[in-house]
Structure formats: C-alpha cells, structure tokens
C-alpha cells in the first residue's frame, strides 16, 4: 500500500498521509508529557501560589490544569481519528485487491526484473513441470491461480495475506478505542458543551450538597461520568461529586448507596492488607435492598454503574478532649467534640476557634529503636485540629493520644505548623512516673510563680555561697535578682527571650561570655525550682537519673512553648471512631467498546509483524525439444531477510525437481 496520489483529493491525501500520521503521533506524545510534569486538577489556589498571577492566567487559558480535557488536546485526538479513518478508507480498496488478485497475468519481463527470481530450463515437459510446481507451491501452503495464454503458463501463488488484515485491524482497533473512549466515555466533553450553552456551571464554593444550585447538578440519566463521594459508616448517599477544573458538579445516582461498615485489615507488619466496605444498594427496582461487600480490585457493578473502593477517611468521629493550660491563670476545660465541627474557646484571654479536622486510629511511623535502627511502628490514635484566633490566623496541630516512646523515655507528642506546606514541628512533653503530664505542668507553673522562684533562688544561692565561703550580700542580691528575672523571661519566651535580653544589654564582644554566665545562673535557678516541684510530689533527696532527664526534657519543651501558639495542650482522652468510605462511582458505556478495539488492535499488531504477504510466480513455457523454460520469482511485503532465505530454499527445491539452473 504505497501512498497513491491518483485517487482522492489533496485533502484526503493530506489527512491520510504518513506525514500527518507521524506528526500526530509525535505531537500527541509531546502534549501528553505536559500533564505528567504539571500535577493536574489541583486546587487553583495552589497553581496561583506556584506560578504567580500572570503565568497562572496564561496556563489556565491554555487549559494546562486539565490538559487531557482541553479543547486543543481533544482536537489532536480527533485529528488522529480522522487520519486513521482516511488512511484505512483510502487503503481499503487497494488492500482488497491485494487479497483477491493473484497477478497471474504478470509479464515475463517484470518477473525477470524482480529481486528474487531464477530462470531455468527443465528436462520435464511443460505439463509435468507445471504439475510439479503446483504440488510444490501447494505443499508450501500457497493458494494458487493458473493462467495459460499465448504459449506460456503462469502459476501465481500467495500466502500470508492476513498481514493486510493486520494493517486494517490495527488501525480500526485504534479508531474504535479512540471513539469508544473519546466519545462514549467522555463525560467532560458533554459537560464542556453544556457549559458553553450555559446549561451547566460548576460549583466552586465549599457548601453542602443540598445547597448546590440546580445549574451545578447533573441528572441520574447522564450517560457517562466518573466521580466520588465519601460516605460515613451508617449513612447513605444518592449523589457523587464530579471534579471540574477548580470546581465540582453534583451527579445524581439512579439509586441510593448505604455504607454499613468500612474496614481496614492489616498485615502483621502493620501495612494495610485490604480496604473494604459493606454496602447496601437501595433501589425501588429491587425487591429488597442489595447487600454486598466491595474492596480494592473488586468493585460492584449495578445498573451499568461501577462502584469502587477508592479511598477512606474520618466520618465524624466523636472525641473527648481535655484542654490543659500552660498557665495557672486559665482553668482546664473539657470538650465533647465531633470531627469536622468547630468550637469556640473562651477560657483564655484571647478568643480561639477550635476546628476539629481529622482523627486517625493508627499512625504507622518510622520509630528509631534503642539499637538505632528504624522500624515501622503503630503509635496509636491521633487527632488533627486547627486553632484560629480573632484575626483569622490559624495554627494546625496533630496530637497523639498516647505517650510516644522515644529512645527509652516517653513523651506526649504534639505537632504544630502554620501552613499545610510546612512539616510539623514537634513539642515533646515528658511523661512523669505516673504516666501523666502533672509534674511538667506543676514545674511550669512553679517557674511562673515569682515568689516561689524568689525563695528557691535565695535558698540555693545561700547554700552555694556558704560552700564557696563567700559572704557578700550585695553579690547575693544581684544573683538572686537576675535568677528571678531570667527565669521569668525563660518561662515566658524561652531561650530566645534570654538571647534578646543579652543582645539588648551587652556589646557584641561581651555577649558570648554573658550568655554563658546567664545560662549557668538560669539553670541553677530552675534546678532549685525543680527541687521544689519534686518535693511537692513527695520525691526527696538526690534526684534520680530519670528525674534529671525529665528536667532537661522539660526545659526543652518550655523553650519551644513560646512558638507553640496554643495556650493549651489539647489532649484526647477518649474517642469513638466513625469512618467514611471513599467510593468512586463511574458509568462508562464505552468500556466494552474500548476493550473490543483493544483486542482488535492486539491481533492486528501481531498479524502485522509476524505474518508476511508472500507471492510466488512460476512462469512455464514449453520448448520445441519437449523440454520447457521455467522462471521462478517471488516477493514479500515484510521481513525481507526471512524471505531471502526462504526463496533460496525454494530455488534449490525447484532446481532439484524441475531443472538445472540456466544462468
């Protein structure tokens, strides 16, 4: 099928041309790359941050945030279909001819002109030569035609014509796939058209499905869609959400899906083994509700809709929270909360809104083992929430319910960050021997208690100065004063506060020395206060290893408190988990069409590569002496080296059976 410019207009020639085909293949390949390097269908604000206003608009107008649904991309695919179709249409007649015609009326000179040809005189008469030749070709699996005209006979044989079917099936397969996928299953195309007609407008606000206006809703009989919905355990839904650029549409379902239960099963390693949901389909067409279980890789197909286990999350778990203030001025507070709800906190000077975001039952984290290796380990439930102050500024927190063991000691761990882009910074509050935060909190409030600090400062200074046999009340007062003030500063604003103090009070060259002295004094003071804290707890005498470790951990925690941004440690005391199952629900009428096309394509490709269309001609002319002149010639449309070998074999067979070489 060489390109024939004879038939068809220029346009057809262009559309079916190899140039266009190859350009399209390459252009499509390049265009496809875009969507893989630029993460598709993200919230538009992310793109704005990433690219800035100018490029953001530029890229949006080019449809780069949803490339594969953008008009120009669909146009390329359309061209692909056109190119394929014209190509097939244009070649079909020729191919059918190829299949049917044996070319038995080929001329002697064109045979002699062929790359693969052999002329010989046969001792056999033409009739015998013909019958032998025929039998050979038959044995070799050729279908033959015979033509006898003006004194010579031509046996024309061919096999492997299926190769041309390969060509047809490959391209038809492509067409079928592209149409099935691009038209039948192309929900976004229909939406785009409806949008242009003003019949449809994606919703961009984050509002309840019930409040979504009719113009953002699609009826249940919509022919093709792919969307998702999160359904909490025990509740049900008859709609799903279709993402459209920076918004969504509400797609109604012809039935009602209820999630009875969602389960995650785990391997012994803690890795998830299976995600599955017990579903109940409520449909008036059903005699009784249809109960079934779906899991990843095992969807439910009902009424032409497929329901997949796609995702999971919290469905509004109930949590008991305890707000533990870091200052004795606030009272502790308890809250019965529900994930996704907001609560106004009043027990502090500044007002905060507490927004509960997420609950997690398992947190499989990489934990460093005593031996230094890291191992995946479940550190138990956690809650994620935001604290929003009057100005609207919010900090995000992730607090673990249970103490987390780290290198032999254990802590209440709370992560904090001011933007989702940042990683969490962690606050580690040491756990006292009773497994509570009591000691830490008492120590903290002791540090905030100026009178108490004063006394303990006095005490230690006295004892240490007696030991040092110094008697200088002036120095003593000096030391105690600074002890008190430094402790106050540290308790308020951590080591940063101390540093500021130093930079404020000393010239550069003195600062290093000063800070060293300050830290000594400060530490001495706080040790004294800590002694007192322990005493209250009933711990007397020399503090133990653990107590000292606790002291250091506490200082670290207090140091971080100034940036912690919350006046409370918000502890989860109890919970009732309610999960939500993330279902993806699709209707794709084109699926089977696409599969059919795929099968055609596969068959076609193999035929194309592994079958070659071979032709053999045997030209026989009787000679006067009862012998005959024979020409053997052949051609193949693919895999010529193979054919070369084959033709040599055939040659020798003919030489041995029909006659000796004449060349």
Partner 1 sequence: MSAQQNAIDALIEEPGFIRQLGLFDWLWASVVLAATAWVFMQYGSNMDSYEIGILSLSAPGLIGLGWFWKAFRPYSLVVAALSLLGIWLYGGSYANAEAVFGLKFLFSSQSAIMWMSALFVMATVAYFGGLLANSQFTLQTASAITWSALVMGMTGLMVRWYESYLIDPEFGHIPVSNLYEVFILFCLLTGLLYLYYEGRYKNRSLGGFVLLVISAAVGFLLWYSFERDASKILPLVPALKSYWMKIHVPANFIGYGAFALAAMTSVAYLLKANGEQHNPQGLAATRLPSLDMLDDLTYKAISLGFAFFTVATILGAMWAAEAWGGYWSWDPKETWALIVWLNYAAWLHLRFSKGWRGIPMAWWAVVGLFVTLFAFLGVNMFLSGLHSYGEL
DSSP category for residue 285? T
Per-residue x/- track, 94-133, partner 1 (CB under 8 A): --------------------------------------x-
* Nearer residue to partner 1 within complex by CB, 454 or 657: 657
The DSSP bridge partners found for residue 660 are 121
Site string for ligand HEM, 248-287 (x = CB under 6 A): ----------------------------------------
- CA-nearest of 352, 306, 359 to 337 is 359
Measured CA to CA, the distance from residue 105 to residue 146 in angstroms comes to: 9
Tokens 């941050």: give the residue. 49
Q: Which residue has the tokens 């290198």?
A: 407
**137-141 contacts: CB < 8 A, separation 24 or more?**
137/616, 137/618, 140/616, 140/650
Q: Tell me if 96 contacts ligand HEM by CB under 6 A.
A: no
> Does 418 help bind partner 1 (rule: CB under 8 A)?
no
Report the interhelical angle of 162-179 vs 591-610 (nearest 10°).
Answer: 150
Using CA atoms, how far apart are residues 651 and 75, in angstroms rounded to an integer?
Answer: 53
Residue 163 binding partner per list partner 1, ligand HEM, none, with a CB distance cut-off of 5 to 8 Å that depends on partner kind: none
Smallest distance from ligand HEM to CB 16, Å:
5
Interface residue with partner 1 among 4, 18, 55, 89 (CB under 8 A) is 18
Q: Nearest distance from residue 602's CB to partner 1, in Å?
A: 5
Q: Which range, of 23-31, 348-356, 543-551, 621-629, touches partner 1 by CB under 8 A? A: 23-31
> Encoding tokens for residue 417?
């960050």
Q: Residue 4 CB, nearest distance to ligand HEM (Å)?
A: 8
Please give, one letter per residue, the 3-state secondary structure of 213-240. CHHHEECCCCCCEEEEEEEECCCEEEEE
Q: In the structure encoding, which two tokens stand for residue 569, read together?
A: 């440690």
- Could you give the string, one character per residue 327-356, with x where binding to partner 1 holds by CB under 8 A and - elsewhere? ------------------------------
For partner 1, the closer of residues 373 and 391 by Cβ is 373
Query: Running DSSP on this structure, what letter comes out for residue 367?
Result: E
Give the DSSP H or E segment for 579. strand 579-587
* Cα separations in angstroms, 280 against 86, 233, 251: 49, 11, 19
Rounded distance between C-alpha atoms, residue 410 and residue 367, angstroms: 12
| 164 is a contact residue toward ligand HEM (CB under 6 A) | no
CA distance linking residue 439 with residue 442, whole number of Å: 5
Q: Does 373 bind partner 1 (CB under 8 A)?
A: no
Residue 436 φ then ψ, to 5°: -120, 180
- Which of 484, 558, 647, 631 is CA-nearest to residue 126? 631
Nearer to ligand HEM, 90 or 560 (CB): 90
| Residue 84 near which of partner 1, ligand HEM, none (CB within 5-8 Å, type-dependent) | ligand HEM
Site for partner 1 in 52-71 (CB under 8 A): 67-68
Q: Is residue 2 involved in binding partner 1 (CB under 8 A)?
A: yes
* 72-91 binders of ligand HEM (CB under 6 A): 80, 83-84, 87, 90-91
Give the total of residues touching partner 1 (CB under 8 A): 60
- Site for partner 1, rule CB under 8 A: 2-3, 18, 21-22, 25-26, 28-29, 32-33, 35-37, 39-40, 67-68, 132, 135-136, 139-140, 181, 226, 267-269, 271-275, 295-299, 306, 308, 310, 584-586, 588, 591, 594-595, 598-599, 601-602, 605-606, 609-610, 641, 653, 656-657
């Amino acid at each position: 099928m060489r390109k024939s410019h004879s038939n068809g207009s220029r346009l057809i020639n262009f559309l079916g041309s190899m140039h266009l085909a190859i350009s399209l293949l390459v252009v499509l390949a390049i265009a496809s790359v875009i969507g893989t390097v630029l993460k598709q269908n993200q919230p538009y604000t992310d793109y704005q941050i990433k690219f800035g206003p100018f490029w953001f608009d530029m890229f949006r107008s080019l449809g780069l945030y949803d490339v594969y649904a953008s008009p120009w991309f669909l146009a390329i695919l359309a061209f692909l279909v056109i190119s394929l179709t014209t190509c097939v249409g244009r070649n079909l007649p020729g191919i059918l001819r190829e299949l049917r015609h044996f070319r038995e009326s080929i001329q002697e000179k064109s045979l002699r002109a062929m790359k693969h040809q052999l002329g010989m005189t046969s001792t056999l008469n033409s009739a015998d030569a013909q019958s032998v030749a025929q039998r050979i070709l038959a044995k070799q699996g050729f279908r033959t035609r015979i033509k006898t005209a003006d004194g010579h006979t031509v046996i024309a044989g061919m096999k492997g014509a299926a190769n041309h079917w390969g060509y047809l099936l490959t391209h038809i397969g492509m067409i079928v796939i592209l149409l099935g996928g691009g038209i039948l299953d192309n929900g976004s195309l229909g939406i785009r058209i409806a949008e242009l007609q003003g019949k449809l407008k994606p919703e961009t606000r984050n509002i309840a499905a019930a409040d979504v206006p009719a113009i953002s809703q699609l009826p249940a009989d919509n022919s093709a869609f792919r969307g998702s919905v999160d359904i909490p355990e025990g509740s049900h839904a008859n709609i799903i959400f279709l993402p459209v650029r920076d918004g969504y549409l509400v797609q109604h379902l012809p039935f009602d899906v209820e999630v009875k239960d969602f389960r995650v099963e785990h391997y012994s390693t803690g890795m998830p083994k299976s995600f599955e949901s017990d579903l109940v389909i409520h449909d008036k067409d059903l005699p009784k509700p249809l109960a079934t279980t779906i899991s990843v890789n095992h969807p439910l197909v009902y009424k032409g809709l497929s329901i997949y286990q796609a995702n999971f999350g919290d469905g509004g778990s109930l949590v008991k929270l305890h707000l533990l203030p870091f200052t004795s001025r606030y009272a502790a507070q308890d809250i019965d909360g529900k994930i996704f709800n907001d609560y106004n906190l009043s027990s502090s000077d500044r007002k905060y809104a507490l927004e509960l975001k997420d609950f997690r039952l398992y947190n499989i984290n990489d934990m460093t083992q005593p031996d230094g290796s890291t191992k995946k380990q479940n550190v138990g439930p956690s809650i994620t929430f935001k604290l929003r102050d009057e100005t609207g500024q919010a900090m995000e927190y992730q607090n673990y319910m249970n103490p987390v063991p780290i290198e032999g000691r254990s802590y209440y761990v709370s992560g904090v960050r001011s933007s989702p882009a940042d990683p969490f910074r962690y606050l580690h509050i040491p756990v006292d021997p009773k497994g509570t935060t009591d000691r830490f909190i008492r120590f903290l409030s002791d540090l905030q208690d100026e009178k108490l600090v004063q006394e303990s400062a006095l005490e230690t200074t006295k004892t240490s100065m007696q030991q040092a046999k110094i008697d200088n009340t002036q120095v003593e007062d000096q030391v105690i004063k600074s002890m008190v003030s430094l402790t106050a500063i540290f308790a308020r604003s951590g080591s940063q506060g101390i540093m500021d103090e130093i930079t404020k009070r000393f010239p550069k060259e003195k600062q290093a020395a000063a800070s060293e002295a300050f830290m000594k004094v400060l530490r001495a003071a706080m040790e004294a206060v800590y002694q007192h804290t322990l005493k209250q707890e009933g711990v007397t005498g020399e503090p133990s290893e653990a107590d000292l470790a606790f002291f250091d951990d506490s200082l670290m925690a207090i140091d971080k408190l100034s940036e912690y941004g919350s006046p409370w440690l918000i502890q989860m005391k109890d919970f009732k988990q309610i999960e939500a199952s993330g279902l993806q629900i699709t209707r794709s009428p084109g699926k089977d069409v696409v599969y059919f096309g795929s099968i055609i394509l596969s068959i076609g490709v193999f035929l194309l590569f592994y079958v070659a269309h071979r032709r053999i001609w045997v030209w026989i002319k009787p000679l006067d002496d009862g012998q005959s002149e024979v020409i053997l010639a052949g051609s193949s449309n693919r895999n010529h080296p193979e054919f070369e070998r084959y033709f040599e074999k055939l040659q020798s067979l003919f030489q041995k059976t029909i006659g000796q070489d004449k060349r």
